[in-house]
A and B are shown apart, each in its own frame.
Chain A
């Protein structure tokens, strides 16, 4: 029997025993359903019809404005509901806009005034702006010598649709980045805890002694790592497949989604290669399974810190630094890339440093594991087995 066959058997046991547990099957099913709903619901809810706006038009505003509003809105795939003074609950139209009773108000004056909420970036501004300027434009065209009918027709020509590409893209990027950091964090946390717990159980139950009489320590540790990683990966796949299916069927996806999935998977795999051997190392140093939490504290603190930075300030200086550190980059760097805060050079350097870190972790973690797993009787200190 060669080492490869034994490695395959160790991996197989981890995978089959995990999937035999109902809790694991349910969890993966829930992830699949949640991801499917996540990609279908926006189509159902968001695609239900054009946006509709409540717009107040003062009685003193030329009738032309009121007449033009619906057609201009229709040209921009929107609907407008005209609100008359008697329908207002607020004292005046400005207050009504502030209190979001209205989306916009068109008020008379020397120059027609449009009132909208600050930072409004949807087609509303374009629609009411164009409608409000119609009388003035008609008047200028008439003054230029055109007859009233032609002037009115020209003035009512629908404008181009206003699409704020940058804002929309940034919003999508933020969403994808947040999702990437959450998935990576929970996947890495789950795997490290599973590997550490599994190792501690094998040591505490002395099954490791039976196995180490037959298989090499490296086969046992890395077989477990790969087995646990495959189970975790199946959870990630359950999340990703609905997104890929939607993309393949021509559904709309955020532009950053597919590249983020690919980059996140690469960092996830190398992140596992770094974190799992370290988790195995700490798991092999304890005497009882109950001690795993304490032994793993340094790792979990780093993971939580990376997650917080990735979700809160991925584009900060701290985020940039953590994006390079191999122990934090598996969570922070994919988030920074999705967020648009990382340069291609940074991404490549971060990836290379992570690979180097993973190689070191495999060597150090494997070595300490080999020495610790056979030392029983009490919890070991790093200095004793390093």
Chain B
């Protein structure tokens, strides 16, 4: 699935400008950016809810059709369900809208609710469910017709760590079965481990894209994290500087080409280190680098 040069404006306000995005099968692709960057608008265009002013959405080498889009699954940001409907009824109805028979929809919905661990509450109305449980049903709604493409808009917003882990496993599983997965998020660091490929947008423009691993490898920025308190004098003695420090330990910057083990040796003279690791830049830092915010912050 390819988003090819999509632009869109609401009146005089341009919200997307020549955006390009690829979602290959078997990969988890993150559409990342701050609130108001244009992520939701792009997803609406992807599903034909909005028509782009320029560019198009391509599927299997041609422009995506209404029939193609019916095969995809979409989970919008927050809610997205009739709160007064019973969980199972809702899923069966959505399955029928996607073209399944009522019997097929019921079988698929029951299986999904079982997998998601909410089968015993299939007859409950959505409004009676907790936030995390409703989010599971929301995901079931996106998957009830067995879509080849799964698109999730801010799926982790408001979820506790357990729910985030559960949802991440489902998303990864879908990709591992050869499906296409695209999700949007403004919580860049939360989804760091989930994304294999990212496209970052800001003010409607793509500011960074590629494989997460490659993007990090190409960055010269490295840090060494150790589980001790390091003071400024010790850091300077090791030829580095402190970037962050909290209750869990200290993070020091590794200059380009620096010997990480040499720095570690210097720090070991000040305290007993039991845990350490070399880190690349976070997605937030990559984003801030790509938008020039970090240099502005440093300069300002």
A residues lining the B interface (CB < 8 Å): 1, 6, 9, 13, 17, 21, 201, 205-207, 209-215, 374-376, 384
Q: Are the C-beta atoms of B81 and A13 separated by less than 8 Å?
A: no
B47/A213 in contact, CB under 8 A: yes
**Is A206's CB under 8 angstroms from B72's CB?**
no
* B289 close to chain A: CB less than 8 A: no
Docked-complex contact B72 and A207, CB < 8 angstroms: no
B97-A207 in contact (CB<8A) = no
Task: State the majority secondary structure of interface residues on B.
Answer: loop
Q: Interface segment, B82-90, B183-191, B239-247?
A: B82-90
Task: Evaluate contact between A374 and B70: CB separation under 8 angstroms.
Answer: no
Find out whether the CB atom of A214 lies under 8 angstroms from the CB atom of B10. no
Cross-chain contact B82 with A384 (CB below 8 angstroms):
no
Given A207-B80, A212-B49, A213-B47, A17–B85 Cβ distance below 8 Å?
yes
Q: Which residues of A contact B34 (CB under 8 A)?
A: none
Q: Is B99 in contact with chain A by the CB < 8 A criterion?
A: yes
A207-B79 in contact given A17-B85, A213-B69 (Cβ < 8 Å) = yes
Say which size band chain B's interface belongs to. Answer: 20 to 34
Which residues of chain A are within 8 angstroms of B85 by Cβ–Cβ distance?
13, 17
Which 6 A-B residue pairings sit nearest by Cβ, starting from the closest? Answer: A213-B47, A1-B99, A206-B76, A209-B76, A205-B79, A206-B80
The smallest beta-carbon distance between B74 and chain A, in angstroms, is: 5
B: residues with CB less than 8 A from A are 10-11, 40, 44, 47-50, 69-70, 72, 74-85, 93-94, 96-99, 141-142
- B97 and A206: CB pair below 8 A? no
CA distance A376 to B77 in the complex (A): 12
* Alpha-carbon gap, A376 to B43, bound state (A): 14
Known: A213-B69, A214-B97. A206 touches B77 (CB 8 A): yes
Set of chain B residues within 8 Å of A206, measured between Cβ atoms: 76-80
Given contacts A9-B97, A206-B76, A206-B78, contact A213 B48 (CB under 8 A): yes
Of A6, A207, A213, the residue contacting B81 (CB under 8 A) is: A207
Residues in A whose Cβ lies below 8 Å from that of B81: 205, 207, 210
The residue of chain A having its C-beta at the shortest distance from the C-beta of B97 within the complex is A214
Known: A9-B93, A214-B98, A375-B10. A209 touches B80 (CB 8 A): yes
Min Cβ gap A18→B in Å is 10
Of all chain A residues, the one with the shortest Cβ separation from B100 is A1
Assembly CA distance A129 to B76 (angstroms) = 83
Smallest CB–CB gap between B127 and chain A, Å?
Answer: 11
Tell me, rounded to whole Å, the shortest Cβ–Cβ distance linking B37 to chain A.
14
